[in-house]
Structure formats: structure tokens, C-alpha cells
Amino acid sequence: MGETLGEFGRISSLLAPFVGRVSVSFDCRTTATESSRREPKVASSFWLKQIPFLFMRKVIGGLFILAIVVSLAVVQRSVLLDIWRRLIDLPLVSLFPLALAATIMIVARGAFLAACSPGINLRQAISADQTALAAGYGIALGGGLVGTGTRIHMFTRWGIPQSTIATSIVATAVVPAFSTWGLPVVVLVFPVLLGTATSTELLVVIAGVLIIGFSGVFWWLALRSPFLFSLLGRFGSWLRLLLAGKVSPRFARTQALVERSQPTAFFHEMRTDLIQLLRLRWGTIFSASLGTLAAGFCCMWTASVVFEVSGLTFSEALVAFSLVRVVIALSPIPGGVGIAELGLIALLEQAGVSVIDATGTTLLYRFLTWFLPMIVGSLLWWQYSRTAEPAESREHLHV
């Protein structure tokens, strides 16, 4: 793809050796024989040394989940048996609201990504978002990096300019932080003012106000003045010089990519495009971000209704959801696996829900928002890898 890849295309190529099987898609037409001709044989010992690490990275997530399941099976065996019986007894018609809630969640997330990515339609946004989620949730270590690299690759193949890809990644990373921390502030502001909030809820509100305030001032200053992005450009230029001296001549492709990079121009262009994106779409972006929160709460509330939870009011469910979103945001594990489940069960129990109802609701909710995206994303990635065409191929076809 050469020069037309741009800055983010070059980042995708640099990430390719570290993203496991996903990296195969960065050139679907490359055969094993062609790759062996391009890569020097002296690097084979390096990749042999990486096999244990790559294997550990792929299985550690499954081992972590297995440890949680085994622990629950030992400590809460009777609870899990009761939950299993109630799930079996659920009528088939109850699957419809669960499927509808999951669909709303998928569409809402896709609409948010489309709002942050000019030139991407809703179908493409859903495919890119669910594929990135599948990579992020399915790979314990480095899953977020793999998901981002996958989205960069898909956007590049769809002919999206590198500046649009950069602004999309920044917007989708920054905007949800405002809505995630803003929700508990809005939900808990009256209990805090009335003095009925718990110490944990008060701490979350204070942290939310500080984070939102600091982030708002930081990004206002960053976009108003070119100083920050110029500083990033200078740091990128220094890093480029450092890499140019460190990369071995044996890796000719990597060396060429480093030499062709232009960090200063890249960050300047990214700042300009971020300003333009916010001027044209700020309302749509923040509305779509709130829509993803509403869709997530819809999944949790639907799970509680389908599981026939008793003693849970709408306001209590909203408080529990707003707090567990903060837990997921603070979790170092992709998707907050384990921490989110335990946190939501504790929050629902604190609201007066029984252990069985809290655990059953949590399992259904996390199935819709964590496990299902891995299935949907894997299927969409398989479909994309079979039908995707590079942007250059499409341009030649239209000539």
C-alpha cells in the first residue's frame, strides 16, 4: 500500500507482529511464501522466543475466567444451581427482549463510532466496533491495542484518511469518559445534597466532578492553543530519530516506515481535524455517547426483568449501573472481567436484592455486554476478511 497508508497505516504495520492472528489481515493477499521471502531468516529465533509469551497472552484471559467460575462453583454452589434452574425454566419468549436489548446496544455503539468518524456509515461502524470489542475482550494482555490496530486497518482499507482515523480514535477514547463519570454525578447529586448518599457514592461524585472539570479544561486549552500538539509533534520527531538509529538494517521495511513518518505535521493535522469535528458534530457525538449508556442500562434492566428480580426499583438499578460503569472504567482488565461482575452483584445486594437475583441478573447482563460482542465481533471479522477489498483496488475498479 506504500505511501498511501499514511501515518496510521504505518502504525498498523508496526503493530502487526504483535497482534497475533489478527495481523494476518493487514495483507490478506500475502502468502506464507511471500512473507518468508521478505522477512530475514535471522529473525526466526526471535519469534521462537516469543511463542511462550504469545501463548500466555491468549490463554490468561480464559484461565482468569475459569478461576472465577471454579471459585463460585465451590463457594456458591447452591446459588449457581438455583440460578441454572431458573434460567432453564425461562420461557423462550423471554429471549426476544434480551435479543432486542443486545441489538440496541450494538446499534448504539455503532452510531457513536459513526458520529466520531466522518465517511463511515452505520454498517461499517458496527463492524469495526464489534470487531475491536471482540479483540479487546478476547485477548487479556494487549487486547485494547489489538482492537485499535484492527480498527485502523479496517478504516484504512475503506479509504478513510489518516487524519479522520486519528480524530476518531481520540474522540471515541475521550468523550465516553465524560458520560461515564457524568452519569453518577447526575444520578447521585440529589442524594449527596440531601445527605443520604453513602461514603462510596459521595467519593464517586467528588471524583467525577474533578475528572470532568479537569478533562474539560485540559481539552479546551489543548484545542484552543497549538502548544500541546506541537509538543507531541516534537516528542514524536525525537522518538523517530531515536528509532531510526536503533532499528537494525536487517528490518528494511520497518526502517523505511520510520524514516517516512512526519510526527509534527501529523499532530498539527490531527488538532485541526478535532476542532472541525467538534464544530460540526459535537451535539451528535455527545448524544450518541449518552445513547450507549442508555443502551447499556437497557441491557441491565431487561436482564433483571427477564430474571424476575424482586425488590429492585428503577432508581436503584440506575444507581447500581452508574457505579458499575465507573468500576469498569477503572479496571485494568479489558471489559472489567471479574471486577465488574463482583461489583455489580455487591451493588445489587446493597439495593436489597437477594444473592440469587443479583447474580442471575449480573450473568445475563454481562452475557449481553461482554460475551455476546466477542461472538458478534468474531463473525463480523470473518465476514469482513472474506469480502474486504483494499481502497486502491476499489479505485481501480471505478476507473
Band the pLDDT of 115: cuts 50, 70, 90.
very high
Q: Return the higher-pLDDT residue of 45 and 209.
A: 209
Q: Which of 219-253 are b and which e, b meaning 16 or more Cβ less than 10 Å from the residue's Cβ? A: beebeeeeebbeebbeebeeebeebeeebeeeeee
pTM: 0.75
CB 10 within 8 A of CB 260: yes
C-alpha cell at 31: 502468502
Q: Return the higher-pLDDT residue of 301 and 75.
A: 301
Tell me what percent of the residues of the chain surpass a pLDDT of 90: 35
Q: What would the pLDDT profile of 350-398 be if each residue is shown by its tens digit?
A: 888 988 899 889 989 989 998 899 999 999 999 998 886 554 444 443 3
- What's the CA gap between 71 and 60, in Å, rounded? 16
- The pLDDT assigned to 70 comes to 58
Band the pLDDT of 69: cuts 50, 70, 90.
low
Tell whether the model's pLDDT for residue 12 goes beyond 60: no
Measure Cα distances from 127 to 161, 251, 371 in Å: 18, 33, 16
Band the pLDDT of 21: cuts 50, 70, 90.
very low
CB 3 within 8 A of CB 162: no
Q: Return the higher-pLDDT residue of 296 and 249.
A: 296
- The pLDDT assigned to 88 comes to 82
Q: What would the pLDDT profile of 198-237 be if each residue is shown by its tens digit?
A: 888 899 999 999 999 999 999 999 898 888 888 888 888 8
Tell whether the model's pLDDT for residue 117 goes beyond 90: yes
How confident is the model over 166-188, as a mean pLDDT?
91
Place of cell 452475557: 367
- The pLDDT assigned to 11 comes to 40
Q: Cβ neighbours of residue 360 under 8 Å, at least 6 residues apart? A: 83, 86, 87, 307, 309
Band the pLDDT of 87: cuts 50, 70, 90.
confident
- The pLDDT assigned to 262 comes to 79
- The pLDDT assigned to 65 comes to 53
CB 154 within 8 A of CB 25: no
Place of cell 456509515: 121
Q: What are phi and psi of 332, to 5 degrees?
A: -75, -10
Q: Return the higher-pLDDT residue of 298 and 337.
A: 298
DSSP string, 75-139: HSHHHHHHHHHHHHHS-GGGHHHHHHHHHHHHHHHHHHHHHHSTT--HHHHHHHHHHHHHHHHH-
Q: Return the higher-pLDDT residue of 77 and 382.
A: 382
DSSP-derived 3-state class of residue 348: helix
Tell whether the model's pLDDT for residue 37 goes beyond 70: no
Q: What would the pLDDT profile of 132-168 be if each residue is shown by its tens digit?
A: 998 888 776 666 788 888 999 999 999 998 888 989 9
Q: What sign does the dihedral 304-305-307-313 (CA atoms) show?
A: positive
Radius of gyration of the chain (CA): 23
Instruction: Give the domain ranges of the chain.
Output: 2-398
CB 82 within 8 A of CB 356: yes
Tell whether the model's pLDDT for residue 112 goes beyond 90: yes
Place of cell 512473507: 35
